Structure 1
Amino acid sequence: MRSDHPPLTTDPVGASLTGAHAGYALRRGRISRYDPEVSVFYAHPAELTEDDWADLAELAGTGATVGLRGRRTPLPDGWTVLRTFELVMYSGAGLVTRPDDEAVVLGPDDVDDMLDLVAAAQPGPFARRTVELGRYLGFRDDDGRLIAMAGERMRPPGWGEISAVATAPHARGKGLAQRLIRAVGAHIVQRGDLPFLHTSADNPARALYERLGFELVDEVDLEIVQVP
């Protein structure tokens, strides 16, 4: 990584929504979120005031679920923690990237197939318009079925998040995910940025990411809470 390259922020959602993805941002006070048709993520200060909680509730809506990253203030009355897990962030500055001529570019016409693959592989949140956030690549089998995909989601300055790394259960063990990670990374590097990614701390895929050269840079609690 060049000495003048922007460091990887610990608030990639906020940095994306004030930068490359500002056009997808919905804001109220100090709270921002992606358009819900595009992504589920919110940006918020670690220490939330009474006004922040009110703005968050207004943006999310009654009964909605919200992911809070590294919260340091108590939940107000009526809010409920549904789940907490450890989220880890990896820098891919050491990833050896490589284009892949056999990978196909995926776009809006492929979304139904992408959603079916996400349902089968469970890589994490993926909405109908997530494909708009960056370049998505995939592999199809001889019958035209989408069997693997990966793409780009958040875009903090100088970085691109590799996301939605998904392989159909029957197609695993063939190195498809590794090829797609390298290929998506190649596109990110080509424009002068560096790749990074998120995953849960208990994801077995961490071993693959580390073999590919990703380095752990942050660990944080992510809470899924319900708005009263």
Structure 2
Amino acid sequence: MVTLEEKLKNPVWYSLQETHKKFRIEFDGAYFYNPEINNFGAFLDENKTADASKEYVDKTENFFFVSEKQTPIIDSEKIVLQKKINGCQMVLENLVDVNITEKIVLLTDKNIEEVYNLIWLVMPGFYQKKGFKMGNFYGIYKDNKLVAISGQRMQTDDFIEVSSVVTHPDYTKRGFAKQLIYYTSKEILKENKLPILHTNKGNLAIGIYEKLGYKLTRDMNWWLYAKK
């Protein structure tokens, strides 16, 4: 049996082996999300990544391999590394209570366009519209428009990742993100699963996560590749 610790070391792989198996595409022993959902890939054996990535890159403009310590092997004649993001993983240790002052609603399929537009406004580039299907999304409305959201991304039988935490630039510094992270984390705990999240090293938001009870646990590297 694979332990929770092992799953946390390779979250994309085990998400695609368990809860998100229906979104999985497999090439030569490497796992990838259907690119309509997400553009993450994972592997156990880096010797499998060269051929697998050449097949997957024909289906998407670019993609990430996500790993803790292993470095993917890539055919440099076919694929180029666009950038490497030095990230980190945080795991909830003890959720700290937050006073919820806003009405937080569970978003549905009718909100997909609003979610997509807000994420692309704040963090353009990688979110796919069908990424909404990866898990629950929650939002705050002000002035009859969606101004802040948080969502769920990678999932296994043991953990769910908090992700897509964005606030419209006109509505920042009101504590919306903090309330949404707390609310989303609490909903995950209700499913008897562990809330986790990923962010860039040095991100100022790490301090907010720590105040909510999250603890830095490991590095998590994101290798962004594209077809040459």
- Give the TM-score band, short-chain normalised: 0.7 to 0.9
2:28 counterpart letter in structure 1: G
SS at match of 1:185: helix
Q: Distance in 2 between matches of 1:223 and 1:6?
A: 24
Cα distance between partner residues in 2 of 1:132 and 1:73: 28
Superposition map of 1:31-50 within 5 A:
31-45=30-44, 47-49=46-48
Query: What is aligned with 1:68?
Result: 65
Mean Cα displacement is larger for which, 160-169 or 22-31? 22-31
Whole-angstrom distance in 1 between the partners of 2:84 and 2:45: 16
Aligned residue number for residue 128 of structure 2: 127
Structure 2 match to 1:29:
28
Q: Which runs of 4+ in 1 moved over 4 A?
A: 97-101
Superposition TM-score, scaled by structure 1 size = 0.88
Per-residue CA shift, 1:80-113, capped at 9, x if unaligned?
Answer: 1111220111001322367957101112211111
Amino acid across the alignment from 1:190: K
Mean Cα displacement is larger for which, 123-132 or 86-95?
123-132
8 Å Cα contact 2:50/2:72 also seen in 1:
no
**Aligned partners of 1:73, 1:35: CA distance in 2, in Å?**
19
Unaligned runs of 5+ in 2: none
Counterpart residue number, 1:118? 119
1:32-58 CA distances to partner (integer Å, 9 max, x unpaired)? 111111111111235224xx4122211
Please tell me whether residue 219 in structure 1 is matched to residue 216 in structure 2.
Answer: no
Deviation at 1:77, TM superposition (A): 3.0
Q: Note closer, same or farther for the CA distance 1:73–1:84 as it changes in structure 2 (3 Å cut).
A: closer
Give 1:21-170 correspondences, 5 Å limit: 21-45=20-44, 47-49=46-48, 52-61=49-58, 64-70=61-67, 71-72=70-71, 74-78=73-77, 79-96=79-96, 102-122=103-123, 125-141=126-142, 143-170=143-170
**Residues 173-204 of structure 1: CA deviation (Å, up to 9, x unaligned):** 11111111111111110011110000111322
Q: CA RMSD in A?
A: 2.3
Structure 1 residues without counterparts, runs of 5 or longer? none
Alignment of 1:190-209 (within 5 A): 190-209=190-209
Q: Deviations over 1:202-226 (max 9, x none)?
A: 3221111111111011113322122
Alignment check: 8 A CA contact 1:9 1:156 kept? no
TM-score by length of 2: 0.88
Equivalents in 1 of 2:111, 2:161: separation in Å?
20
Provide the secondary structure at the position in 2 that maps to 1:154: strand
More strand by share: 2
Does the CA contact (< 8 Å) of 1:83 and 1:224 recur in 2? yes
1:135-155 residue CA offsets vs partner (Å, 9 max, x unmatched): 1100010x3111000011111
Number of residue equivalences: 221
**Cα distance, 1:68 vs. partner?**
2.2
1:6 aligns with 2:42: no
- The one-letter code matched in structure 2 to 1:105 is L
Matched to 2:64, the amino acid is G
Alignment CA distance shift 1:157-1:98 (3 Å)? farther
1:156 CA displacement? 2.4
Cα deviation, residue 76, structure 1 = 2.3
CA contact (8 A) 2:148 2:167 kept: yes
Matched-pair identity in %: 22
